[in-house]
Structure 1
Amino acid sequence: MKLELRHLRVVCAIADAGSLSKASSLLGLAQPALTAQLHRIEGLLGGKLFERDHKGARPTVLGELVLERARVLLPAFSRLQEDALRLVDDDVPTDRFRVGAVNGPMLGGLVHRLTESHPGAHVSTHASWSNDELAKSVAQGRLDYVLVGVCGDAPPPTEYGLTWQVIALDPVFVLVPEDHPFTLREEVELAELKEMQWAVVPGDGCFGDCFVAACSRAGFTPRTMYEVDINSCIDLAQAGDTVALCQPTFRRAPGLVAMPIAGSPLRWRHLIGWDPESPAAAFGPQVLRYAGEAYRETAERNPRYTAWLPSHPEYGAVRHHVAVP
């Protein structure tokens, strides 16, 4: 692994925050993942960058040197991107947008905005259930941008050197028949569903383990867990003896209601990624804005979610997008 600009951003974030715990919160990254990343950076540079104790993290002599250079290089790199963007036609910034996505609410709205704003561009899509596969495709130059989802505070794929931005944070809802008594309430307790079977779309993250842990905290072990496509999830839920885990932006299906789980024991982060060294990086902020608009549009289609959000302001679209190293 080589030293990259994203590593310098991590070092600056830790120095500015004064501790790894505060930096991990600002970066939207779990502290163990940030600690592991710092250790890898220190390995690349040959020494410790911070002295850490109960008071926080203070730069070492080597850390001060790295910070001094990083605070010159990072603004210079940003100015380079801005200058390059100014040299390009604002109306048609690129002749193609290749977008990959896992199952999520934003792809349709994003494609619509890209084709509408850049009518001369070729927009193509690629669907996958694997975050890792999509990230690898960007690193190999086969895709420009990827929309992925990760469980809770889990990081997106980090080994490919992509820039990641958080679009939104959602609770996980459940699909139940619309004639079920639960639908008369605002939320359903997870323990009340212990006799049900479960359905979820597949993925390569930790969601399955987190779900089992949430059930254990609620006092039960889940019965059969079906990993199926979204249409099969709907079919199983409509049959009445299976609860499907879903995103709260889920578009209404006949006979089903998407309901919040009390206490929101499961969370899902929506992210967008691109290669910071590719031409697509210059237009990343624009595509990020389109993705955020697409998310908000989709969320507004679920009245139960929009009614739930005001009392849970920590969820929904991220106003000030947070980079994930």
Structure 2
Amino acid sequence: MELEVRHLRALCAIADAGSVRKAALQLGMTQPSLTTQLRRIEGAVGGLLFTRGQTGSRPTPLGHSVLSRARPIIAEMSALMAAARDAAAGAGGARLRLGSLGGRVVTGWLRRLHARLPDTDVAIHIEVSAGTLLQLLATNQLDAAFVHETEGFPLHIPPGVEQRVLMTREPRFVALSVTHPAAAHPVVGIAELADDAWIVDPAADHEWSALQRAFTTAGIDPRLVHVRDTTTAADLVASGEAVRACQPTAEAGPGTVLRPLYGDPLTVGLSLATRPGALSVPETDALFCDLADAYRSLAYANPTYRSWLHRNGGMLPSP
């Protein structure tokens, strides 16, 4: 077996994610498939590349050696592909490559960009992992990215990547069925939801870790439901089968309500990450203003979030 670039990407994904399961989710593979591929790679190089344990997968000395050679190759290949795409885009006009985590603000951001830059090809790459977006940015595959950083779990910022803060501390609300007893309260204590199942996206950065910390602080140990499909998650909440943490700019679906959590135990920081040289300072300023305007529009249009903002000083980014 000869190692290919896809094999090197798999090894880097396992090392970065810290486990085969998480790496498989990021790569769009099943865990058994990635495990089989890893065994074949280890057979080809003649030794174990990772130790497996309850805390995840860690590179062995041989693994560190292989990874130190694999990463420059991956970076060069990414740069080559990005340069080729840039050259192709250059023949057809200006191009702006953006990345973002999912959320309603993306639509408003794009709408403003299209209106301001009608002759620019704006491409958007949606991820569930801010870490992945930052790596794409650092390897010249994106020009800018809208990222979230879970409080208490700082992101690894690649060298050269800069951040411009949109919100220092955005709260996470909880989505629950209109029939839930807590739905009658304007603010919900997390302990009131101790008997509920909580929906968790296993691929989202630190979502489970942040929830676990909040649960531990509240002295509860609720059930978890791992769901990646948003439609299924919405149906489970509406039916009363589960609750879920959500962005405060989210829109309550049929049969559901959004409520702030007492004491805001779950918060994230929002920022626009850029790579120096990808955009000029005026371009970056305009891009940030479009994002901030889209965010403010959603925040003030949402009665629940608007009330939270009024109770907490109404701090939103200036235009």
Scaled to the shorter chain, the TM-score interval is 0.5 to 0.7
Match of 1:242 in 2: 242
Identify if the C-alpha distance between structure 1 residues 186 and 244 changes in structure 2 by more than 3 Å, giving closer, same or farther.
same
- 2:178 maps to a residue whose letter is E
Q: Distance in 2 between matches of 1:179 and 1:204?
A: 28
Query: Could you report, residue by residue, the CA deviation over 1:118-159 in whole angstroms, capped at 9, with x for unpaired residues?
Result: 111111111111212211212222211111111125433312
Q: Distance in 2 between matches of 1:204 and 1:182?
A: 26
Q: Distance in 1 between matches of 2:234 and 2:226?
A: 12
- 2:166 maps to a residue whose letter is I
- Percentage of matched positions with identical amino acids: 27
Counting only pairs closer than 5 Å after superposition, residues 288-307 of structure 1 correspond to structure 2 as 288-307=288-307
Identify if the C-alpha distance between structure 1 residues 230 and 300 changes in structure 2 by more than 3 Å, giving closer, same or farther.
farther
- Match of 2:166, SS state, is strand
Scaled by the length of structure 1, the TM-score of the pair is 0.65
Q: Distance in 1 between matches of 2:159 and 2:317?
A: 24
- Match of 1:300, SS state, is helix
Query: Could you report, residue by residue, the CA deviation over 1:197-241 in whole angstroms, capped at 9, with x for unpaired residues?
Result: 111334453332121111111111121242423322212111212
Identify if the C-alpha distance between structure 1 residues 153 and 282 changes in structure 2 by more than 3 Å, giving closer, same or farther.
farther
Q: Distance in 1 between matches of 2:190 and 2:110?
A: 36
Between the two structures, name the one with larger relative contact order (CA 8 Å, sep ≥ 6): 1
Match of 1:121 in 2: 120
Query: Could you report, residue by residue, the CA deviation over 1:42-72 in whole angstroms, capped at 9, with x for unpaired residues?
Result: xxxxxxxxxxxxxxxxxxxxxxxxxxxxxxx
Query: Could you report, residue by residue, the CA deviation over 1:276-302 in whole angstroms, capped at 9, with x for unpaired residues?
Result: 132355511110111000111111232
Q: CA deviation at 1:161?
A: 2.2
Q: Distance in 2 between matches of 1:280 and 1:240?
A: 49
Match of 1:151 in 2: 150
Match of 1:112 in 2: 111
Q: CA deviation at 1:252?
A: 2.2
Q: Distance in 1 between matches of 2:124 and 2:198?
A: 30
Query: Could you report, residue by residue, the CA deviation over 1:83-116 in whole angstroms, capped at 9, with x for unpaired residues?
Result: xxxxxxxxxxx82221111123321111111100
Q: Distance in 1 between matches of 2:203 and 2:166?
A: 19
Q: CA deviation at 1:188?
A: 0.8
- 2:192 maps to a residue whose letter is E
Aligned residues: 226
| Unaligned 5+ runs, structure 1 | 1-93, 321-325
Q: Distance in 2 between matches of 1:229 and 1:285?
A: 34
Q: CA deviation at 1:258?
A: 0.7
Match of 2:187 in 1: 187
Does the 8 A contact of 1:177 with 1:257 survive in 2? yes
- 2:230 maps to a residue whose letter is I
Counting only pairs closer than 5 Å after superposition, residues 192-271 of structure 1 correspond to structure 2 as 192-271=192-271
Does the 8 A contact of 2:200 with 2:207 survive in 1? no
| Unaligned 5+ runs, structure 2 | 1-92
Q: Distance in 2 between matches of 1:196 and 1:101?
A: 30
Please provide the CA RMSD for this pair.
2.0
Does the 8 A contact of 1:201 with 1:233 survive in 2? no
Counting only pairs closer than 5 Å after superposition, residues 41-56 of structure 1 correspond to structure 2 as none
1:97 has 2:96 as partner:
yes
Does the 8 A contact of 2:238 with 2:255 survive in 1? yes
Scaled by the length of structure 2, the TM-score of the pair is 0.66
Does the 8 A contact of 2:175 with 2:252 survive in 1? no
Counting only pairs closer than 5 Å after superposition, residues 128-147 of structure 1 correspond to structure 2 as 128-147=127-146
- 1:133 maps to a residue whose letter is T
Query: Could you report, residue by residue, the CA deviation over 1:287-323 in whole angstroms, capped at 9, with x for unpaired residues?
Result: 011100011111123211112211112x752349xxx
Q: Distance in 2 between matches of 1:154 and 1:232?
A: 28
Match of 1:273 in 2: 273
Counting only pairs closer than 5 Å after superposition, residues 17-56 of structure 1 correspond to structure 2 as none
Query: Could you report, residue by residue, the CA deviation over 1:12-40 in whole angstroms, capped at 9, with x for unpaired residues?
Result: xxxxxxxxxxxxxxxxxxxxxxxxxxxxx
Q: Distance in 2 between matches of 1:280 and 1:199?
A: 41
- 1:298 maps to a residue whose letter is L
- Match of 2:301, SS state, is coil
- 2:294 maps to a residue whose letter is A
Does the 8 A contact of 1:214 with 1:266 survive in 2? yes
Does the 8 A contact of 2:101 with 2:129 survive in 1? yes
Q: CA deviation at 1:165?
A: 1.3
